[in-house]
Structure formats: C-alpha cells, structure tokens
Chain A
Amino acid sequence: MISRTKYIGAVEIGTAKVSVLIGEVTNSRSLSIVGMGECASRGVIKGSVFDYKAASDSAHSALIEAERRAGVRVDEVYLAQTGGHLDGFSSDASVQVSAANNMVSDFDIDTVCNMARSKQLPEGRMVVQRLRRPFRLDGRLVPDPDSLVGRELQVGYFVVHGQENRIADNIHVIRGFNVRVSELILSSLASGAMVTAPDERQHGVLVLDIGAGTTDYVLYRDGMPQVAGVVPVGGSHLTNDLALGLRLTEGQADKLKLRCGRATILTKSREEKVWLNGDFAIGDRQFPKLTIEQITSARVWELLEVVKKKLGPAFEPDRTGAGVVLTGGTAKLPGIAEAAGKVFGLAAHVSEAPAWVSENLRDPSFSTVLGLLHYGLSSRPEVPTAARRSPGLFKKLFASA
C-alpha cells in the first residue's frame, strides 16, 4: 500500500507571539510534528491585526523558521482565530418528522439543520464557526437521528461570528506568504480539543485559554461544544495594571509579574518586599509583595467573573462535571487554578499536554497551535447530509416506487 504523506501548517497569530507548527500527516491518520517556529508578535492587539506589515513580518519569520526546521514547504495552513470582535449566539430549530411512519430521514435532518443555520448576521459580520449541538428527537439526545423513530426533531447551533475586515486581515497576513488558509478554527476550540479528553467533554468541562491579549473560552457538554467566546482581556492587562499601579515600565512590570504575580493572595504581611531587579543598581527598588499579589489577583478574578457572566445561564456547575481546565501562557500564573475553582465553584486545574507531545511543546502556551493540527485533522467541515450520503444505484432505481 502506498502511504500518502501531506504537510500541514498550524499558525496562531497571538498578541505576544506567533507560533507555527508543521505536521506530517500520513494516510490522513497519524500526525508527526516535524517543524516549529516562534516569533515575538508585532502589529497585533487583543488578537486583531492593526499593523499589516509588522504582523506579516513576524508571522512570515515564524513560518520561515518552521519550514527551515521541517525541511519542507507547506502549501496550506490551519489558522487560529481569536479577538475581541468575536461574538456568538444560539440558534435552535425543530421540525416535525415528515415520514408517515415517523422515521427520520436525511431530508428531515437537512431541513432542521438548514433552518437552524439560516440566520442572517448584521452588516459587516461573518460566520467564523458553527458549533452544532447534539440532535434531540422528542426531547432525547441522539448523536445521529437517521432512521430513528420520533415526531419532533430539534437541533441547535452556537454561531460564532466576527468582523469581516478583521478576519480578512488575519487571512491576508498568511496569504502574503503565498500559503492558502484551508481552515479557520476558533482558538478556544483548538485548545479545548487538545487539553480535554472525550469523556471530560461528555461530562461537561469549561476550558479557559488565557493568552496575553485575550481569553478564549469554550464550554463542552454531552461531548460537544455548547458555547464559545472571547474576552479581550489577558495576561498583558495584568502587566499593564502592575505598570500603572507601581509606576513601572512595561518590561519591568512583566518581569515582576512573572516573578511574584499570583492569582490568589498568599502573602499576609505588608512588610514582605521584593526587589525590582535584585541587582542593587541605580533605580532598583523594593515593592510590597502583597501589593503585587493584590493587583494581579484582582485582575484575574475580574477576568474570571467576566467569563462567567458571558457564559450566563449556559453555564451550569452541576452539568460541568469535569470542572475547569486552564491553558494558555497566563495559566502558568501561580494560584490561577485555585481562583478559577472558587469563581466557578468547580474543581479546576492547569492543562497538561498528552504524553505524545514532546517536551519542548508541553508548555500551555502551545496548546492552541497543537490543537489546531489535532482539531483540523479530526474534524471535517459540516456538509449537508444529502450531499454526504448520495443515494446509491439501488435507491435511485427504486426512488419512484
């Protein structure tokens, strides 16, 4: 048997860095990571491109490095999509089963799906992804209603949409490298597919991917994503708060955040202090550790509360059995799992990469770009049922009977 090998790139243009992975896909089944490229991101704020040239330079540098390490050229990539402009809504539809014997047919499935999908968006908005929820046949959950018997078939979609020009900017950055974008995947879905197991998604799990500029979230239930969204707040806001509160430069505040920042307050005494640089040079000074923890924890708690508020009634703790999983670069902040646990009232933990991921990619900040390859290969764009299963010769022969 001849093995068919294909090279696919995965690109995440984040606020802090651009990450690129190149995967070698053999026979559409096995995936090997053969190249990696990273570059500090420029021209991107809160996940959106505002300087095309700068963003292109950093993205193309990361692509060149990944291709050089892999020793191959890629012709298409999966691109992560995030940004504060993303929004979403639920769209549900139901139909009465058309057959006299109440057996669900392809026609019924296509009808209810088309009804649920045919929602028009405001001017300038376009769909990034539609997340289909499980079908319900007379109220019971069914993974595939085809040929089952029932009266009413229901389905719901969570439609994620965004600003057309910002999505186009993201794609054009990649097209500037003469590489085609074959899939545009929500960052939260990519991360979620990577850091959660199928049984966790079945029991219900909330995934928070806290990056530098944005926090992407996705809530799974019954094995499928129910709600996904983006909060335009991330680790850079913690840095900014520290810089403002302690009158520091952004670089100094970032170092202090990484050294002493916490999502929960551990320090009791205001007398406990830390040096800014620790080199006793001119300008080096002390700051109360309690103050640093208060500033960072306040912003983290606020962020988590905003996410909870955006989830709204869709979030039900008793139907989120697998708890909260935190990932992304800011998930490395000490105490963040404890904070998330308290805000959402659930067990929370920082994600751990699967065992097959190599050591240099186990950092939570790579979960999105790893998940792009994983999600892009394991899922296919949804196509109408009738197109997916064209009638065979036998059916055609007896169609008129």
Chain B
Amino acid sequence: MNKTASTLAAARSWRDIPQEVAPRSMSREGRTRLVLSFVKVGLVSVVLATVGWAAWELMQTWQTNPTKLAAPVKSEPLRTVKLTTNGVLDEAWVVHRLALPRGVTLMELDLGLLQDALLADRQVRTATLTRKFPDTLLVVLQERSPVCRLRVQDREAASRDYLISRDGMVFVGANFDADLIGGLPWLDGVKLSPIRGGGFSPVSGMETLADLLETAQVNVPGLYRSWRIASMARFASYGEIVVRSETVPEIVFGLRDDFFTQIALLDAVLAETQSKPVSSINLALGKKQVPVVFAPAESASPGVAAPVPAGGLGHLRDGPRTQPTLPASQASHPLFTFQPSQPRESSRDL
C-alpha cells in the first residue's frame, strides 16, 4: 500500500484534469445541451444589452429633455403644493412665485427651472422640489433671517426698504412680522452694488455685525431695543462699528475685545452715567480705557431716536446718491446731530 513518496512539490490533483471536451467527443445529447447552453448565454446577453441600452436612453432623455417622458408616464394634473420650511414663507407665496400654469401635470414640470425661480428671491437659501405622485409637488425651503434693515433710494428718488441676512444677502422680505422688522436696527455706511438680473451683491462684514447684534439682543435686550442705526462706515478702515441708540448718539465697538465684553462695559458705563447725557462712548480701545464724551447741558436732551448720517442709510454705488430718509415715525428728528468735541471729561478709566 505504501508507495515511495518524496517531500517535493505538492502532487497533482484530479482537479488539474481539464474538463473541456471537444464537441465531437460528446454524445448527441451532450452536443444538444452544449448548443442550448450557447443559446441561453446568447439570449441572456441580448436581454442584458437591451436593458442596458434602454436605461442609457432613458437617462439621456431625462437629462436633456425630461418633458419627453411626460407622455409615456401616466400623470395627473398638479393639485397640491406642499411646503416644508424653517421660516415664514407659506404655500401661497410658493405658488405665486412658481407661477405654475393651470392644468400642468407633474411630469411636465421642469424642477430645475422652478428651483431657480425660488432661489431668485434671496430670502430663500436652499430649495428642494420633489414630485410625489400622483398630483403633489413637495417643496422644502431653508430661509434666511434678517439681522438688520436698509433703506435704498434709487435714481427716481423712490425709496425702498430691504432686509439683510447674516451672510450679507439683501432681500425684500416677505411674510415677516411687522414688529420683528420694526425692532431691527437700520444699517448705515455700506455701498450696494446692483447685480445683473436684479438685486444686490452681498454686503461684506455682516457676519461681524450679526454677532454684535445677537450678543446684544441676548444679553441686554433692553439696550438692544434702543439701538436705531448700526454704521459700517468705519468697519473696513478701522474695524469699528458705530451704533446710534435712542440715548447715546455714538457707541463705537471694535474688534479688539469680544462683543460680550464690550457690551458688558457699555452696560456698566451707562449705569455709571445714567444721570448725565452722554454723546459718545468708545469701546474700541479695549477694556482698560473707555472714552466717554458727555453732551453739553443745553443739548443734553438729544432725542436722537434715530439719527441718520449725511451720506444716507445706504446708497447705490453706481446710482445717484440719495437723500437718506427715516421711517415716518422718526422723520421729525434731525437726520444728523453734530456735537462739538468739547468733552467735560475726556476719558475715564473703568
């Protein structure tokens, strides 16, 4: 039983025997099976190729002209537009904005164009449209929230109010609560650049201003409510934001300290000086020194509800400089009050 075996390479196994057999060595039944197997493989290949070609054609049509697919697909007229949003826009606004023709079917809708129509309003940050068969269009929106407002006068001297979001987008604003809009400070000292197709290019520096306003709104809401104008005129050059409130004509914020510290200092200064009228508080120099300028006694009642700079609240870069205006409730106050710089106290360490 035991044959001589040497310890070399592994021996060949029956699996090394090739199982290919020439058709002439096969029986008649074997050859029939061989032909049938070829036919089967051929048929499967043809079916797969057909399915692949059909899928490719479908994809091409979908990408180039999806409305061509409307005819073969049984689709009912659009009856419902369902909106999901994180903001204030409603379905009526969406329907108005999309301007859908009457009797249009779901498959006839060009979702790309409709999405562009929604995004044309800068209040809409993102828009997603989905067909839900048989007759519903699902619209999901993400909206921008305003951080301040802006009045612009065009060449025909007509003024129009806009809202500005944290990312600097300028938009008209729809469906916002009037009290909410009325509580926003006006923006000053920015130059708007009209862009092709309407609207304006984004305003720079709004992230910083939004941080300041949010910090104030959260920590000192009473103080924030008295803020009427936030000026960015010195932001690019000096990194300063000038706020004009009902009680203080000029509050200068800088970028040296964080806004929370500066607002805390402001609150402390106002608490210290509540009996005296103040015309200017400069928080931009750091927390060690806060120059405070007191107003002269005869002009101590500034009543500066909303002083507006001579340059206007905002003006078009390429358009005529326009006369800045205030809302009607504040229009009776002087647009800009110049205080001579004769402080009774030059500065004060806090």
Contact = CB atoms under 8 A, between A and B. Distances in A.
B13 interface: yes
B14 A184 contact: yes
Interface in B5-44: 5-14, 16-17, 19-21, 25-27, 29-31, 33-34, 37
Given A175-B21, A177-B26, A127 B1 contact: no
A75 B3 CA distance: 37
A56 B28 CA distance: 11
A314 to B, nearest CB: 9
A125 B25 CA distance: 24
A57 B27 CA distance: 8
A381 to B, nearest CB: 9
Contact of B33 (A167, A168, A172, A177): A177
A379 to B, nearest CB: 15
Given A126-B11, A127-B12, A177-B26, A120 B5 contact: yes
Contacts of B29: 60, 64, 177
Given A60-B27, A87-B3, A177-B29, A171 B9 contact: no
Contacts of A81: 14
Contacts of A164: 12, 17
Interface stretch (A88-96, A243-251, A280-288, A292-300): A88-96
B27 A168 contact: no
A300 to B, nearest CB: 22
A175 B23 CA distance: 10
A126 B7 contact: no
B6 to A, nearest CB: 5
Q: Which of B13, B14, B21 has the most CB of A within 10 A?
A: B14
Contacts of B31: 178
Nearest to B34: A178
B11 A125 contact: yes
Interface string B302-345: 00000000000000000000000000000000000000000000
Contact of B11 (A56, A114, A161, A312): A161
B17 A87 contact: no
Contact of B30 (A118, A128, A178): A178
B86 interface: no
Interface of B is mostly: loop
B2 interface: yes
A56 B8 CA distance: 37
Nearest to A172: B21
Contacts of B20: 175
A91 B8 CA distance: 13
Nearest to A227: B1
A89 B19 contact: no
Interface string A182-202: 001000000000000000000
Contacts of B33: 73, 177-179
Q: Which of B7, B9, B17, B26 has the most CB of A within 10 A?
A: B17
A171 B27 contact: no
A171 B5 contact: no
Contacts of A171: 14, 17, 19
Given A171-B14, A171-B19, A121 B30 contact: no
Contacts of A119: 5-8, 10-11
Given A60-B27, A177-B26, A121 B34 contact: no
Given A57-B27, A177-B26, A89 B11 contact: no
Contacts of A347: none
B8 A312 contact: no
B17 A310 contact: no
A73 B37 CA distance: 11
A374 interface: no
B14 A118 contact: no
A56 B26 CA distance: 9
A319 interface: no
A181 interface: yes
A243 to B, nearest CB: 31
A161 B13 CA distance: 8
Contacts of A143: none
Interface string B79-99: 000000000000000000000
Nearest to B37: A178
Contact of A176 (B12, B17, B26): B26
Interface string B241-283: 0000000000000000000000000000000000000000000
Contacts of B37: 178
A121 B5 CA distance: 6
A88 B19 contact: no
A71 interface: no
Given A119-B5, A229-B1, A177 B10 contact: no
Contacts of A161: 3, 11
B19 A180 contact: yes
Contact of A118 (B1, B9, B16, B26): B9
A168 B20 CA distance: 11
Q: Which 7 interchain pairs have the tightest Cβ spacing?
A: A119-B5, A178-B33, A175-B21, A120-B8, A121-B11, A178-B30, A126-B12
Interface of B: 1-14, 16-17, 19-21, 25-27, 29-31, 33-34, 37
21 contacts: A57-B27, A88-B1, A89-B3, A114-B10, A117-B10, A119-B7, A120-B7, A120-B9, A122-B3, A122-B4, A126-B13, A164-B12, A164-B17, A167-B14, A167-B17, A175-B21, A175-B26, A177-B29, A179-B33, A180-B19, A312-B1
Given A88-B1, A164-B12, A172-B25, 5 more contacts: A122-B4, A172-B21, A176-B27, A178-B33, A229-B1
